[in-house]
Structure 1
Amino acid sequence: MVVRTSLDPPGGSVVGQPVRLHVDVLFPGSMPRPPRIRLGDAPGAQILRFETQGLTLREAIDGQPYVGQQFEFVVFPRRGGAIEIPSAEITLLDAAGDPAGSARSAVQRIVATVPPGLDASGPVIAATAVTVSQIWEPDPGQARLAPGGALVRTVRRGASGIPAMGMPDLAFSAPDGVRIYADAPRSEDRINRGAVTGERVDRVTYVFERPDAYVLPAIVQPWWDLAARQARSETLPGVTIAVAAASSEARQRQGRTTARAWVAGSALLGALLLGVLVWRLRGRRIARWRPWRTNRAASGAAALSQLRRVAQRGDPGATYAALATWLGRMPADTRQRIRADRRIAPLIDQLERALFGPDGGWSAEQGHALRNAVIEVHRTVRRPSDHPQRVDLPPLNPPWPRSKAGHS
């Protein structure tokens, strides 16, 4: 057996630039079954794997025919300097699919540089094109906010050749007196003739606690232009929000209403106090409900519900993205058990072949089957067995297009 690794590009890279790591596993004569492969974490880098099925290889080594598979990982350096990529752990399988041995690949090392003018401490992206935009709801120029009011900021980022999961998190901040609630990021990647354009949407809600003038800061997206070899940045401006207390006229109306209530007698006074009590309880329930809603949107249950809705439509791209989001909210060992479960693994493999293979297909019937399998598997992982199955596959991630040049 032959195990070899390579990097693309083979030399150094800049912070945020994707580097493809190829791991080839070749067998003399024939391959009983494709091996399992996993790659550990690399401090200072983000490692993603976008496909479960590898590329089939056939070649001659020293005059002898070999057959095997090439597996691809993508490494995003997040700091400058040398970064060591650990060896891949390979589990060999016999014809029945049982473990028959193990092997390891060589350790790889990449050196990431920080070009002049680029701040590596920020959410750096390295691409040929980057776009950013934002939407405020309601319009800050027309909004009339009182304490307890909210303002929603939606930021959309696009990058050529970078999937949404390869875009670092933005840092949202606010002054004292403003609370921030962040939704789970949304991926809207697009693939056109094998080229990916990553689209990530971040949505945060600012809640103002008291009257004052607040400055919500700008957001800066630094990036390295791979084509022009130049540091650039995109800025989304902040806004100034005036949160006003109740007006004097409103306070006078409240006073007259209170006076009439006292004149009306004890019955009306009791009704007024009851109304105030209900109002205060309602405010507390709303304050508790907002963080609950935010946590709910970022929970595995919400991701599962979304996956069930999307899968039955038969759209492979949307199904794959929803599946990746659901698995991404699971603990590592749970993701592994789900991915290896025989009820769901064949359907995921078919879904990936439909997206990345030359002859794959995906139908609404398969979408219904995946939905039902997800429901059954979810019930199983909620009641794990005493002897969970060990899985060596890494977690599922969103699709990464394979270019011909990357496998030459």
Structure 2
Amino acid sequence: MNRTASQRFGLCLACFLSLAAQTATAEVDLVKTIVDQPQVWQGQRASFVVQLRSPGPFAGAASFTIPQVARTVIVKIGTPVVSSEQIEGDTWFTQDHEFVLFTQQSGRVEVPEFEVRFGSRDGFTGPVSEQIQKVPPVTFDVQAPPGADELGFLVTTDQIQVSQSWDPQPGKAKVGDVYHRTITQSADQVTGMALAPPPTTVPDGLRIYADSPEVSDRTERGAFSGTRRDRLTYVIQEPGTLTLPAIKYVWWNPKTKQYGSQTLPAATFEVAPPPPVGSTPATRSTFPWQIRIGLAVAAAALLVWQRRRIQMAARRWWQRLNPPTRAARRAVLRAAAANDPVAAETAWLRWQNLQPQPVRTSATLQQAVSELHRQRYGGNAAGTWNGQPLQQAFRDHLTRQERDIDQPDPLPQLNH
């Protein structure tokens, strides 16, 4: 009898200890976030770490569904750091995944919770179980430097290196001459797309053509180094002294808490007048040519006199046919079709910033954008990128968006 009671007591004790161990395991958070520096400047690199925990070794690679935040870029960088720690007397395996973001917002900026999937084992020899967890939200306090509103897109870095080259050099010129200008910017801890574009306004007598910028980034041990290269072409159209004003590049230094700047000097063209046209006797054979010349001069004078009004009308007509949002959509699809991750990310950010309110995207589109960011800043930055998933997911999103706009409201308005 005593032996039976002893066996029952031992069985109950074993069940209690097993239940207590399971309860302790359940109380351990499998996912947590770590933010070392929650206060950052607008446009400055901000980082946070997502730590995954497992009672046994991890299996496979973790997959994150990175959320979309207005006027903000979030990317996962590097490879996870694998380690272990003691929690309530038990050994837990950990993976630390680093994320960085650049935001043009100011004030309280929150990264909402997002999904993570990873495989884990219960002990060294246990079966693999798939974990679907939520990464807790992360909040940053973003401070705008004084006068940041006047600068538009703010660049926050220690220094920007700016250089330029001309072909040929500005100087003496004549009507019809063409000049090529290349401006190169590079900075640490900043993506190339965050560097400012050059001005495209020119004085009367010059015409400018701007190529698409070349943007590149280099990631090494979690550090960013961004480069932007702009190519501009100037065409001389009128004689006289034509001067391109100096270009001042400004950035905010988070260490000194002061603005820094570098200026490219002004460029002046001394354009000689065209040679005088030789006079010819006013005969019956040359009289029609005089009329043509007179009409051409009159038409040119009319165009010069009304050029601003004509330019404004042409600009309004072009914008009506090609609004910025439509151009941004085409740029995303074109870059994805060309498998160009740099152009695709630039176009995606431009389209996102043109939306009147935060965009709700499907899980498929979020995954495609995450793959784009992983290609740009992850460990496989040198590999090829397939833009077809992004192209198809973005087309599906646009189709749903247009369908929602065209769908009539089923309820009539109460007040008229």
Establish whether residue 49 from structure 1 lines up as the match of residue 77 from structure 2: no
What SS does the aligned partner of 1:50 have?
A: strand
Question: Structure 1, residues 129-151: CA drift from partner, whole Å, max 9, x if none?
Answer: 532112334432143236xx765
Question: How many angstroms does 1:157 deviate by?
Answer: 0.8
Change (3 A) 1:152 1:334: farther
Specify which of 159, 162, 176 is matched with residue 132 of structure 1.
Answer: 162
1:263 aligned residue: 285
Question: Structure 1, residues 201-253: CA drift from partner, whole Å, max 9, x if none?
Answer: 23445566654433211112234667899865322101123445543x23xx3
Please list every run of 5 or more consecutive structure 2 residues that lacks an aligned counterpart in the other structure. Answer: 1-28, 120-131, 305-310, 405-416
What SS does the aligned partner of 2:101 have?
A: strand
Establish whether residue 240 from structure 1 lines up as the match of residue 268 from structure 2: yes
Establish whether residue 36 from structure 1 lines up as the match of residue 65 from structure 2: yes
Amino acid at match of 1:145: V
Specify which of 242, 247, 250 is matched with residue 219 of structure 1.
Answer: 247
Report the Cα distance in structure 2 between the residues aligned to 1:93 and 1:164, rounded to whole angstroms. 28
1:155 aligned residue: 183
1:324 aligned residue: 345
Question: Structure 1, residues 149-198: CA drift from partner, whole Å, max 9, x if none?
Answer: 76554321111332212324455554466565554433133345664331
1:74 aligned residue: 101
Percent identity over the alignment is 21
Amino acid at match of 2:139: V
Establish whether residue 189 from structure 1 lines up as the match of residue 245 from structure 2: no
Contact 1:7–1:20 under 8 Å retained in 2:
no
Report the Cα distance in structure 2 between the residues aligned to 1:137 and 1:296, rounded to whole angstroms. 34
What SS does the aligned partner of 1:162 have?
A: coil
Change (3 A) 1:381 1:244: farther
Establish whether residue 21 from structure 1 lines up as the match of residue 44 from structure 2: no
2:365 aligned residue: 340
What SS does the aligned partner of 2:75 have?
A: coil
1:391 aligned residue: none
Change (3 A) 1:245 1:37: same
Specify which of 103, 108, 128 is matched with residue 140 of structure 2.
Answer: 108
1:87 aligned residue: 110
Question: Structure 1, residues 284-319: CA drift from partner, whole Å, max 9, x if none?
Answer: 9xx979x98xx899755466545545x4xxxxxxx4
Amino acid at match of 2:341: Y
Amino acid at match of 1:84: G
Amino acid at match of 2:110: S
TM-score by length of 2: 0.57
Question: Structure 1, residues 80-126: CA drift from partner, whole Å, max 9, x if none?
Answer: xxx53322211447899xxx896752533255666xxx999557655
What SS does the aligned partner of 2:280 have?
A: helix
Report the Cα distance in structure 2 between the residues aligned to 1:339 and 1:22, rounded to whole angstroms. 24
Please list every run of 5 or more consecutive structure 1 residues that lacks an aligned counterpart in the other structure. Answer: 312-318, 389-408
Question: How many angstroms does 1:263 deviate by?
Answer: 1.3
Stretch of structure 1 that moved more, 320-329 or 64-73: 64-73
What SS does the aligned partner of 1:241 have?
A: strand
Counterparts of 1:245-394 in structure 2, within 5 Å, are: 245-247=273-275, 249-250=276-277, 253=278, 255-256=279-280, 259=282, 262-263=284-285, 301=330, 304-305=333-334, 308-309=337-338, 311=339, 319-331=340-352, 336-337=361-362, 340=365, 348=372, 351=375, 356-357=378-379, 370=386, 373=389, 376=392, 380=396, 383-384=399-400
Report the Cα distance in structure 2 between the residues aligned to 1:382 and 1:124, rounded to whole angstroms. 30
What SS does the aligned partner of 2:346 have?
A: helix
Question: Structure 1, residues 48-74: CA drift from partner, whole Å, max 9, x if none?
Answer: 222389847765555564757645233
**Count of residues paired in the alignment:** 337
